[in-house]
Amino acid sequence: MAQWELRSGTGVERLLFFSDAVVAVAITVLALPLVDIEGPGPGQNVLDVLATHSGQILTFIVTFYVMAVMWGIHNRVMNSLVAYDGMVFWLNIAWLIGFVFLPWPSTMFGMGDHWGAGEVVLFSSDGTGALYWWTMAYISGIGTLTSSYISRHPPLLKPADRAYWALLVTTRARLRGAVFFAAFVLAGLLSLVYPFLGFYALLVIIPLDFILRPTKPQSEALAQASRLAETSGD
């Protein structure tokens, strides 16, 4: 698709439906490794199973949450489009590639031994943590580029949504993509040197998301802008 070519109408709807279908499949694949976890054996209970596979389970929960957050932002962006050009199309394809790829490093990362034989593992050479976190960084970075490009090209946005986007860039939510990208890159670097720190960086991601959300007055203003957009659309 040429960068200067614009598509609108059903073309936008088909792009959105395609993206949502790909995301749904990727998130489903993310859960498949958990199906292979066997139940309690002789002398075990479910708590033993959970403890043994805690890395896989924690990685799945946090990855699912982050994927849901990134999809939510992506969906809000795509739903604001009245048209798209070649740049938006290829940025969206690049974002989807990262999403589909993520379940693989997520599975390896969750199953990895980040502690060794009772000792902290230093200077790990397997690189699974770095691959996991840098895949996250890739998805976040592409998503940020997409949002930035669309916000700087108002003709691609529905007229009623332009006020919402103009207001959004004044909130701290505008920093979310850049901060998450930097956090993912840093976690990947930590995973190369101190794998256990890279693993426990998982616990920082969810609080970071809440910190970067708009303040209550900003959220109320955005909600009002969104309602006005819907009213204008009607």
Where in the chain are the domains? 7-233
pLDDT at residue 227 is higher than 80: no
Tokens standing for residue 116: 């060794």
pLDDT of 95 reads 94
pLDDT at residue 107 is higher than 60: yes
> How far is 123 from 31, CA to CA, in rounded Å?
29
What global pTM score does this model have? 0.76
Residue 3, SS3 per DSSP? coil
Q: Please report the sign of the dihedral spanned by the C-alpha atoms of residue 80, residue 82, residue 88, residue 93.
A: positive
Of 57-61, 142-146, 208-212, the range with the lowest mean pLDDT is 208-212
pLDDT of 130 reads 86
Give the pLDDT confidence of 61-95 residue by residue, as tens digits: 888 888 888 888 888 888 888 888 889 999 999 99
First-to-last CA distance in the chain?
32
pLDDT bucket at 118, cuts 50 / 70 / 90: very low
Q: Are the CB atoms for 130 and 105 separated by under 8 Å?
A: no
Of 20-29, 105-114, 130-139, 214-223, the range with the lowest mean pLDDT is 214-223
> How far is 173 from 115, CA to CA, in rounded Å?
36
Tokens standing for residue 210: 């809440």
Q: For tokens 């529905």, what's the residue?
A: 158
Which of the pair, 39 or 147, is modelled with greater confidence? 147
pLDDT at residue 228 is higher than 70: no
Tokens standing for residue 161: 């949504």
Tokens standing for residue 186: 């840093």
pLDDT bucket at 124, cuts 50 / 70 / 90: very low
